[in-house]
Chain A
Amino acid sequence: MSEPILTIRDLKVAFGPEKVSMEALRGVDITVRRGECLGVVGESGSGKSLTALAAMRLLPSAARITGGSVLFKDQDMTSLSRKGLEQLRGNEMSMIFQEPMTALNPVMRVGDQIAAPLRKHKGLSAKAARARTIEQLDSVGIPDPHRRIDNFPHEMSGGMRQRVMIAMALACEPKLLIADEPTTALDVTIQAQILDLLRAKQKEMDLAIIIITHDFGVVAEIADRVNVMYGGRVVEEAGVGALFDHTLHPYSIGLLNATPTIEMEQQRRLPAIGGAVPHISEMPSGCAFHPRCPERRPTCDRLVPNLETVALDQRVACWARSTADEQVA
């Protein structure tokens, strides 16, 4: 197994002023290794996007990190200066977003937007940066890059814009790419193109990717390992095969069952998870999933379960799966 490139330990993020703050991330543990693709799955409000933003130190101003650490290689992102962060972002780690139209500057030619990090981090001349940008556009599969380099974002389709975002993010050959729902806004045929592109780049550049998604299909397509998040915590962590074949956490099981699949034969009812995702202002005590959990135990509403290793490369945070519950109860 290769060495970790990003290690998030017990990360806590809260919103609002000190006294009335609401905890959105309540101790997140995530590790990404060099060259692997990690899927982070969760529904809205699970904290998956916030984790990504915290890892990049791009949190909205209302949110702040209240505990834990984010280690990129051996530097702690949480204590890095603004200058240190600027050295890393766009250079050694970069990020792409769900809606490329809002992430790209609408009044700047795409070529200039891709060239900007090249000039800043690699110190290339305008001419060299332009040549590199054309190569970069070509490598993400943009046809006719010599012409496209001078396009504005609105002159491109959604899929093309997402390719530009990827070209920009990968321009300086980073070691880590965080992709926040990169295909959610795209049509299925375009989504397939983008996932293929990401997979190819991962192999080609030995790139670590964190792909944040609500869609198990995306995970099944591209991820090597998966973290399932719920209520601001990771509730299950497993290799992608283990997660689908040997699902442990009741929430993961529920989500997988609730997802209709294309292979599914006629089946009258979908197994549904009752209730709704809790809002961060009313997070249940103990295990956040306990009010919706079919395997609820007496311990669950009192104590927060920790991630426990239950198999090689599989960890789960659930009292019903714990070996220690007898002692605690």
Chain B
Amino acid sequence: MNKLLEVTDLKKIFGGSVRAVDGVSFSLAERETLALVGESGCGKSTVSRLILRLTNPTQGTIRFEGKDITRISQGALKSIRREIQFVFQDPFSSLDPRMTAGEIVTEPLSVHGLVRNGRERRSTAERLLQAVGLSSKHVDNWPRQFSGGQRQRLGIIRAFALGPRLIVADEPVSALDVSVRSQVINILQDMQEDKGTAYLFISHDMATVRHMADRVAVMYLGKIVELAPKTSFFAGPQHPYAEALLSAVPASHPSKRRRRILLAGDPPSPISIPSGCRFHTRCPIAQDVCKSSEPPLKPVADNHLAACHFAQAWPIASRLKDVDAPTEGGRFDNVPGDLQVCR
């Protein structure tokens, strides 16, 4: 497969001490969807901003179609920007309230000088609106006249207007109502099938990721701790954090209320990242070696990488002694290394 995007050892340090992204490497093939998952503060959004060159990396390289775009100037970047587009999370703040729907969806075209006059712009706008199921008579409407779902459609069609090879989608559906969310997910998938675009899909929602992604990368405190094809990942995550993340997803049916791996406390701050394995302070299976040496991201199965000293081909739950604590209400003041499995 051709590598469309290749990120190597990317780092972003804010204000000298906040290690938001702390050495991230991955690649993305053409037409592929890579989901970047993790909790708030894990650095996944910063990765998206780095790839879009909205902020400059402290270290590392970003290659697009083999070309190093890490440090090229904004001017030289302009032609690359035609190939890399984006969909943002908030359908309200990502559209300029002082532009009409038509102006919004054709903005990328006019920035790159691809529409010659107002008439052409208007007819293009109408065509684009129809492509995402909006009426062409909405072309002169203001963003505030659209619902959240409709606005996100505007955001999506704006991203596709230039026919990019890669779209960075940062939580594109998480601000939407459930009934509208599925419409937008379908549009994202239809457009991808149609245009053969690759997605870097940033999300915290495992269910949506399972539906959308080809591969999954799990981030924790600025680093990728697991990177695997979707089927292999959901069949058996290898990193304890990835497994905890999966087990924390609410049940899809009341009969499936299940044992879950409760993590102790909150993630540490990216200002003081723990020594050794950065997950050891919350890890249910941490050993002494985890405190001192940082595990590299290494293959544990076909194309399945995990950064854990104890990554094995069996689920963590079976490696743990069960702790019965139903009445304690998921307390988390236990010592690290100890674990509760609660119903």
Contact = CB atoms under 8 A, between A and B. Distances in A.
Interface stretch (B73-81, B111-119, B249-257): B249-257
B251 A220 contact: yes
Interface in B314-343: 326-333, 342
A203 interface: yes
B263 A221 contact: no
B181 interface: yes
B331 to A, nearest CB: 4
B316 to A, nearest CB: 14
A312 interface: no
6 contacts: A187-B204, A203-B326, A241-B254, A244-B255, A258-B178, A269-B186
Interface residues of B, number: 51
A197 B208 CA distance: 26
Given A188-B39, A260-B207, A272-B182, A217 B245 contact: no
A240 B178 contact: no
Interface of A: 43-44, 139-144, 157-160, 187-197, 199-201, 203-204, 214-221, 223, 240-241, 244, 254-255, 258-264, 267-274, 276-277
Contacts of A215: 178, 250
B177 interface: yes
B186 A220 contact: no
Contacts of A204: 327, 329
Contact of A143 (B147, B326, B328, B333): B333
B138 interface: no
B288 interface: no
Contact of B182 (A44, A143, A271): A271
Nearest to A220: B251
Contacts of A188: 39, 204, 206, 245, 248-250
B262 interface: yes
Contact of B178 (A191, A199, A259): A259
B219 to A, nearest CB: 12
A274 B180 CA distance: 8
B179 A277 contact: yes
A203 B250 contact: no
B149 interface: yes
B328 A261 contact: no
Contacts of A218: 250
B132 interface: no
A194 B248 CA distance: 11
Contacts of B183: 272-274
B211 interface: yes
B228 to A, nearest CB: 16
Contacts of B247: 192
Nearest to A187: B39
Given A160-B266, A192-B260, A260-B185, A43 B342 contact: no
Nearest to A267: B211
Contact of A144 (B147, B250, B327, B333): B333
Q: 7 tightest A-B contacts by CB?
A: A217-B250, A200-B329, A196-B330, A143-B333, A141-B331, A261-B252, A258-B182
Contacts of B276: none
